[in-house]
Structure 1
Amino acid sequence: MTEKQRTLRFAPSPNGYLHLGHVYSALRNRELAERLGGRLLLRMEDIDTARCTPRFEEQILKDLNWLGISWQGAVRRQSAHFSGYRKALDRLRDMGLVYPAFVTRAQIRSHVAEYERQGTSWPRDPDGSPLYPGNERSLPDGDLAASLEAGQPFAWRLDMEKACSLAAQDITWSEEGRGPSGETGAITANPRAWGDVILARKDTPTSYHLSVVVDDALQDITDIVRGHDLFHATSVHRLLQVLLELPEPRYRHHALLVDGSGRKLSKSDGDTAVSALRRNGLSADEVIRICETGARI
């Protein structure tokens, strides 16, 4: 049997300009695709239709072309595939694993602040955000129906305990790179650390967690190369892959480019945007050299 062609993807969000951290990740993806004799795909993760704009996408495409970073096939735009994510969400709903939650982020922060004023710390996810309290997991039918009928905004949350129990196995992933603390090899996933994560909202039928696993399966992604900031999120992705019976890719997480103060680069850092560096006279080779050396910016 012929081995399946190795396929990687670079997946920026067009809610800002391409910066050096993105370029570093794109280069790592291209490097591995070339080494494996595989292919590199481009995906626009634009489910946030309010912040993601055609202007940013156009500039990202221009920057990638200027840098000489190419890809195979058509660009996949998540905003054109909401129906597919909705089907995945519906499947999880049919399994009894998701529920509507009406508490807002502001209300959660207020609840946590009040709790911690009593001198006890509130549990937080690996990104440092307070875990959702979970008090709406078993809303009485009457209260639930009234909230839905009133048109209150809500999020579809994954019942993490039910989901982990249904998976009924130790979930792992193959880490061919290294995690933030040097983790490598067979990594045991810990999705419970994230609590009841949001999988969709009333007006957006998906979230990053849900759309990324659906897309990776549909695009036959065999190898995922991405930054340390998404290492722990892999636990949630592997759980969803098990629940939805999706294939398991190989993972390779890499260190992040940081600025002179050791802070990771972000889209708010306009001086590290590729378009800004280009206007300031840097050549494509110079931009790539900065990324390849991993130097602090």
Structure 2
Amino acid sequence: MFTTRFAPSPTGYLHLGHAFSAWTAFEAAQQAKGRFILRIEDSDQTRCRPEFEAAIYEDLAWLGLSWEQPVRRQSEHMDEYQAALSQLESLGLIYRCFKTRKSLMADIAAAPHGPVSASVDHALTVAQEARLLAENRPFAWRLSLSRCRQYLGARWEDLGFLANGNWVKADLERLGDVVLGRKEFPSSYHLASVLDDAAQGITHVIRGEDLADVPHLHVLLQVLFDLPTPEYHHHRLILDADGKRYAKRNQAVTLRSMRENGTSPNQIRALVGL
């Protein structure tokens, strides 16, 4: 069955861009006589706040949306993400990266035509890694593209996905060795999103075109975990008068603020071109 989702992070109040994305997914599910799921991506506990999560439910209900219960909250599934990370570690497909943000930026400057992350699987000796761990150095778990290529063999060349109705061959090099977890935190957005979509039976991922690069990595994770690959649809972005994306920090365009100022859901639909 057609199943899609809207998956906001409670790090601020929803804005016009969120309204457009939520409506787009909700109405696609209705047209297909499918399921619409709300997921709360609250894995970043340093930035997520209960009042923002409560506002998400209030704003979406005010817009006329309904969703299945219970709502999946990422903070309640950390053990699942840790198990998946451990699985990749046992396969030798991830490695500890002790580089700081400053040193990574230096790598980017030294290799301007390389992957955006400029992170390469730099092998440390067992002794070097043991020393850094003994010093309690922070690290990130990165997915090694070179090891994944070797592990998948001929399947590597077949990786791809459907996006806006077209078959797209995965271009993994554009993202480099991405972070999937950290020393004291078992998941990144990428790992949690892939596992959540599979757990919830998501068949269609509908979101903004600013995330069009993401499936190039997610399809690799889906193959590594033997999970289904959804179809992807990347819709247009809602931009302000200066041609910039709306942001949560811009309180003037939050749904909460507009609702309090007397704006109706129909007026918001007109503002976003629906």
Question: Smaller-chain TM-score range?
Answer: over 0.9
Residue range with higher mean Cα deviation, 143-152 or 12-21: 143-152
For this pair of structures, how many residues does the alignment match?
Answer: 271
Task: Tell me if the contact between 1:67 and 1:288 (Cα under 8 Å) persists in the aligned partners.
Answer: no
Q: Which amino acid is 1:227 matched to?
A: G
Deviation at 1:269, TM superposition (A): 1.8
Q: Which amino acid is 2:118 matched to?
A: L
Deviation at 1:111, TM superposition (A): 4.4
Task: Tell me if the contact between 2:180 and 2:190 (Cα under 8 Å) persists in the aligned partners.
Answer: yes
Q: Which amino acid is 1:171 matched to?
A: L
1:228 aligns with 2:231: no
Q: TM-score with structure 2 length normalisation?
A: 0.94
Decide which of 51, 55, 61 is 1:59's aligned counterpart: 55
Q: Which amino acid is 1:186 matched to?
A: W
Unaligned runs of 5+ in 2: none
SS at match of 1:162: helix
What is the CA–CA distance in structure 1 between the aligned matches of 2:168 and 2:104, rounded to whole Å? Answer: 31
Task: Tell me if the contact between 2:248 and 2:254 (Cα under 8 Å) persists in the aligned partners.
Answer: yes
SS at match of 2:220: helix
* CA deviations over 1:63-106 (Å, ceiling 9, x no partner): 11111111112111001100001111111111110011111112
Deviation at 1:121, TM superposition (A): 2.9
What is the CA–CA distance in structure 2 between the aligned matches of 1:256 and 1:265, rounded to whole Å? Answer: 9
What is the CA–CA distance in structure 2 between the aligned matches of 1:267 and 1:93, rounded to whole Å? Answer: 36
Decide which of 274, 277, 287 is 2:255's aligned counterpart: 274
What is the CA–CA distance in structure 2 between the aligned matches of 1:86 and 1:274, rounded to whole Å? Answer: 35
Unaligned runs of 5+ in 1: 178-183
Deviation at 1:122, TM superposition (A): 4.9
Residue range with higher mean Cα deviation, 242-251 or 263-272: 263-272
1:174 aligns with 2:170: no
What is the CA–CA distance in structure 1 between the aligned matches of 2:247 and 2:193, rounded to whole Å? Answer: 20
What is the CA–CA distance in structure 1 between the aligned matches of 2:107 and 2:145, rounded to whole Å? Answer: 21
1:145 aligns with 2:141: no
What is the CA–CA distance in structure 1 between the aligned matches of 2:107 and 2:93, rounded to whole Å? Answer: 25
Q: Which amino acid is 2:27 matched to?
A: E
Identical columns (%) = 40
Decide which of 152, 156, 161 is 2:146's aligned counterpart: 161
What is the CA–CA distance in structure 1 between the aligned matches of 2:124 and 2:52, rounded to whole Å? Answer: 41
What is the CA–CA distance in structure 1 between the aligned matches of 2:50 and 2:247, rounded to whole Å? Answer: 20
Q: Which amino acid is 1:33 matched to?
A: A
What is the CA–CA distance in structure 1 between the aligned matches of 2:112 and 2:123, rounded to whole Å? Answer: 24
1:50 aligns with 2:46: yes
Alpha-carbon RMSD across the aligned residues, in angstroms, is 1.4
Q: Which amino acid is 1:131 matched to?
A: A
What is the CA–CA distance in structure 2 between the aligned matches of 1:276 and 1:46, rounded to whole Å? Answer: 22
Decide which of 223, 237, 259 is 1:256's aligned counterpart: 237
